[in-house]
Structure 1
Amino acid sequence: MRQLIWFRTDLRVQDNTALNAALAAGPTLALFLVSPGQWQAHDDAPAKVDFWLRNLAELARALRALNVPLLIRKADTWSDAPAVIREICRIHDIGTVQVNEEYGIHESERDRQVRACLGADGVDLRSHLDQLFFRPGSLLTQSGGYFQVYSQFRKVCYQRLHSALPSCLPLPGPQQDLGIPSDVPPCTVDGFPAPSEQLRQLWPAGEAAARERLDAFALEALWCYDDRRDFPARAGTSQLSPYLAAGVISPRQCLHAALANNQGEFDSGNPGAVCWINELLWREFYKHILVGYPRVSRHRAFRQETDALAWRRAPDELEAWQQGRTGIPIVDAAMRQLLATGWMHNRLRMIVAMFLTKNLLIDWREGERWFMRHLIDGDLAANNGGWQWSASTGTDAAPYFRIFNPISQSQKFDPDGHFLRHWLPELAHLDKRDIHDPSALGGLFGVPGYPQPVVDLSASRERALAAFRDLGGRTA
């Protein structure tokens, strides 16, 4: 019986659970749905959509080598998906649709509707665990709930991984030619302008590019990851997050690459490898949170009492933060990096998020939305988890009184100012002492061409502490 592999955020042929299952079960066709209305509703960035399309073109070539025809259809929103897929199944006599599980309330509802629609025609929708090591709901506390503390979640993950390490699937062999022509992937989609060629070159598409990046990181930088990952001027991180978010590479492939360079150890051996595996498990943790606590998919705080927090409405300050014009160099450099590259170093994500939510006391949802609209690696679970951690509204979040001083962070993690000079050329002439806080130089106008700070860091810190203390009093 013919199979249909419905690709979503799993744009690869290597180690793809649903694809392997489909080809093992029978003659297989592939499908990808172009859904601009849904992507806009989810605030997906133009750079991210462009990355998907470029990877879709690479996937089409890889499928061609397997004799799997790729059908591309438009379903503007996911509510259109059931009818579109049903029609394909009828035309091509499909018996089973194979998918890799996705998480979030909209993804779950989409798949429920597709399953019900296909079921009326006797077509089965079969879903597979693929983008996680463990299916949500399979790792629970002793009381039967989802973990809310990462260290406890990680401990159970280690126990399971030691006893049942998920293996990578081999590349399936080609099937017989079905004589069905493939569609040509679109280069652009209305509503999502193409990013600059410079940005595209930073993120080459395809599994080969992802694997090359993974192998180079594992061999050259994994051993010192724990020492270098917090310094944005150094090449200390893997920069694999866009490939993981689009499913161009799997977390299993990443885990096995780390283990191969750490004598097979998860929680001992090389500190860099252990640290990076922990980052993979943080990614896992936030996806489990997405399933266990659906309110985080609905723009709600995980800690529900913080929904009463008195956030400020300050559109001018928000825009200054968005455009990298706050007068705080490390914040501005990070925000300009995001606008130019579609990516931001993880340490900087925490710094700019805490500055927005604590020093400016602006709702974390404003920052979460801005990030999603610009990140090439935008992922609901990771982005929401990171923002709520920084805002002290999330699970296992930073305590509200832990507020990064961005100038101290800059001095610690960019001590010579190399990152600042790259993204803030108007400050390039300053020495490594003054560049972190040019406002301290004095003078009526400060450094020509660079704004004065939009906020006093000490006073704004006290304002944030008071707001959180007031929240505690009102919810006691």
Structure 2
Amino acid sequence: MQNSLIWFRQDLRIHDHPALVAACDYAKQHNSRVYAVYFVTPKQWKLHDVAAIQIDFIERHIQALSTQLAAIGIPLQVVNLADFDDILPWLNHYCAKQDIEAIFAAVEPEFNERQRDKKLIEAKLPLTLIEQDCLFPYGSVLNQSGQMYKVFTPFSKEWKKQAASKAITPLKAATFDKPISEPSIDAFVYDHVYQNKVSSEHWPVGEDAARKRLKDFAEFLMADYGAKRDFPALDATSKLSPYLAIGVLSARQCVTAILFYFPDALINDASPAKTWLNEIIWREFYRHLLVAFEHLSKAQNFNPLGQAIAWRNNQHEFEQWCQGQTGYPIVDAAMRQLNQTGWMHNRLRMVVASFLTKHLLIDWRWGEQYFRQQLIDGDLAANNGGWQWSAGTGCDAQPYFRVFNPMTQSSKFDADAHFIKQYVPEVANWPIKHIHQPHLHWQSNNDASTGLFSQNESILYPKPIVEHSAARLRAIEVLSALKKS
């Protein structure tokens, strides 16, 4: 019997899933069965700094996916292995046992994943890879010279041009056979590599929840996204990134939702949906870059001039940044939000990344790794792209001489300090002006020499670890290594 196997990866859904549809079509043509598999590879995850909270989120979605697949007659098996090297022998044995003649899976853009698939194909495994991660295949959005764009705006224009020229319709949910009893799914085994599991319970699970969140955002919030997205105290962002990161939603589903409510979004630069559409295109841009420039998966600067930067890399200051103890309330509130929830508001990601790489002159790779270890929406392409953008070393990056002023960012985007007070209660009784400009508080404090101030001696908050103006000048001098000759 010529059975097929669908290998789930970062695509934990049954809607708009070309690889799953292909596996079902193959089985229908051969009057055979479809099996499904998901590999748990904790050593590989640890090597890639996957956050424990994201693993928990994935595990909960695997449970939900198992139920969905059982409803269309497909049993899902969770297989606990160590790393990618263990996959080939397992698949060889399984294919022989279950008469698997065809394996279907989605292409992944990361270098290690692409090397894994190359080895499997070279080993004559019947693996068919299908591109479904982005709206358009890698290497299909190119400039007039046939090269990958290195600037976002022209990439965006070409991407929109291609998108406007064709129908964008997500595939319906895959169908196959009559329901089967829901299989007993093995639990993820990773506590021998990850000492502590982290709950993702505050994030709803399942395609229905993700699709409803997308619909509600598109219908009620998207039009105001451009005006409100930078204010962390407002519930004005989509919060869809965790679902996109593990493939519970597809980019095509997101674009379809945009066009349903804003049909001219691809051709009208004044469309209320423009800003959020650009977020989707930035995601695509970074993923296309990851494939075009393999060194991005290897923790290397996109701009080779970045190799000349003399990073300070002060370990103690890095730990203060990680713990939300820099003495700048907006930076500390953002880092505590990350540590407590596994998520951070987008504007604040830029603020803290700029602070680490420019105020503290700590290598962007330190921050990228820490983010990846904490984020529920961890994604190599977006994380790498965002950090290199902030550091000035990336593709179409922020200029090296642009240094975010955390005090200006604080007063502009959290004017009443509502967000800051939520995560940094130590400063809740400070005057608003002092919260935004913490050095003023120390200037008015007779005990500033202690390094800590409190109106309540049981609550301590640190002095700013750097002075903004001096740090800015230092950053411009050191990062001038990025200046073109």
Instruction: Summarize the Cα distance change of 1:334–1:267 in structure 2 as closer, same or farther, 3 Å threshold.
Output: farther
SS at match of 2:434: coil
TM-fit CA distance, 1:177: 6.5
Question: Could you tell me how far apart the structure 1 residues matched to 2:481 and 2:135 are?
Answer: 41
Q: Taking every aligned residue pair, what percent have the same amino acid on both sides?
A: 42
Q: Is 1:328 equivalent to 2:334 in the alignment?
A: no
Question: Could you tell me how far apart the structure 2 residues matched to 1:427 and 1:334 are?
Answer: 14
**Gap runs ≥5 in structure 2:** 28-32, 455-459
Q: Is 1:2 equivalent to 2:3 in the alignment?
A: yes
Q: Can you list the C-alpha shifts for 1:416-468, whole angstroms capped at 9, x where unaligned?
A: 11110111111111233222123212213363111000011110111111112
Matching residue's letter, 1:457:
H
- The equivalent of 2:23 in structure 1 is 22
Q: Is the 8 A contact 2:17 2:174 kept in 1?
A: no
TM-fit CA distance, 1:284: 0.2
Instruction: Summarize the Cα distance change of 1:429–1:8 in structure 2 as closer, same or farther, 3 Å threshold.
Output: same
TM-fit CA distance, 1:285: 0.1
TM-fit CA distance, 1:167: 1.6
Question: Could you tell me how far apart the structure 2 residues matched to 1:91 and 1:225 are?
Answer: 52
Query: Is the deviation greater in 74-83 or in 429-438?
Result: 429-438
TM-fit CA distance, 1:176: 4.7
1:457 aligned to 468, 474, 480, which one? 468
Matching residue's letter, 2:475:
A
Question: Could you tell me how far apart the structure 1 residues matched to 2:241 and 2:67 are?
Answer: 23
SS at match of 2:377: coil
- The equivalent of 1:59 in structure 2 is 65
> TM-score scaled by structure 2?
0.93
Q: Is the 8 A contact 1:45 1:372 kept in 2?
A: yes
TM-fit CA distance, 1:193: 5.1
Matching residue's letter, 2:105:
V
Q: Can you list the C-alpha shifts for 1:370-420, whole angstroms capped at 9, x where unaligned?
A: 000000000000000000000000000001111110110111111111110
- The equivalent of 1:415 in structure 2 is 415
TM-fit CA distance, 1:321: 0.2
SS at match of 1:272: coil
Q: Is 1:356 equivalent to 2:367 in the alignment?
A: no
- The equivalent of 1:37 in structure 2 is 43
Query: Is the deviation greater in 159-168 or in 36-45?
Result: 159-168
Q: Is 1:131 equivalent to 2:133 in the alignment?
A: yes
SS at match of 2:5: strand
Matching residue's letter, 1:155:
K
Instruction: Summarize the Cα distance change of 1:207–1:177 in structure 2 as closer, same or farther, 3 Å threshold.
Output: closer
TM-fit CA distance, 1:172: 2.2
2:91 aligned to 64, 85, 90, which one? 85
**Gap runs ≥5 in structure 1:** none
Figure out how many residues of one structure are paired with residues of the other and give that number: 467
Matching residue's letter, 2:141:
L
SS at match of 2:461: coil
TM-fit CA distance, 1:283: 0.2
> TM-score scaled by structure 1?
0.95
- The equivalent of 1:142 in structure 2 is 144
Q: Is 1:76 equivalent to 2:78 in the alignment?
A: no
Q: Is the 8 A contact 2:71 2:179 kept in 1?
A: no
SS at match of 1:433: helix
- The equivalent of 1:215 in structure 2 is 215
Q: Is the 8 A contact 1:20 1:172 kept in 2?
A: yes
Instruction: Summarize the Cα distance change of 1:417–1:173 in structure 2 as closer, same or farther, 3 Å threshold.
Output: same
Question: Could you tell me how far apart the structure 2 residues matched to 1:348 and 1:412 are?
Answer: 12
- The equivalent of 1:428 in structure 2 is 428
Matching residue's letter, 1:18:
A
Matching residue's letter, 1:137:
G
Matching residue's letter, 1:41:
L
- The equivalent of 2:381 in structure 1 is 381
